Amino acid sequence: MSLLDRIFIGKVIKDFGILEEKSLIIGKIKKSMLLAERRGKLRIAFKWSGYAPFGASVTYFDLKAESIPKLRQFLTEAEELANQRAKIINQSQSVH
């Protein structure tokens, strides 16, 4: 947890760690999720950070904790759609 996390999203309650990490030719990108408290309210924060030899960037976006059920619903639906697509692709590859 960095000072930037504290300044931009509040007190970090839990850092859930890196969701994705991608190495580029000259740098690296990380996407992670945090649970934070700001002004007495819980927030889910997503953090995108990247760095290269001549610069760095950090971007945050956050959601109210009340959005967690809707986020869970969206993720469940996205997972179901991805599984359906994978099943269709596997079936079409086995035919050929």
pLDDT of residue 1: 59
pLDDT in tens, 30-85: 999 999 998 899 999 999 999 988 899 988 899 999 999 999 999 999 999 999 99
pLDDT of residue 34: 92
State the CB neighbour count (10 A cutoff) for residue 92. Answer: 9
Question: For 70-80, b where at least 16 C-beta lie within 10 A, e where not — what string?
Answer: eeeeeeeeeee
State the CB neighbour count (10 A cutoff) for residue 48. Answer: 15
**6: enclosing H helix or E strand:** helix 3-9
Q: pLDDT-based confidence at 25, cuts 50/70/90?
A: confident
| Domain edges within the chain | 3-95
| Alpha carbon distance 64, 57 (integer Å) | 24
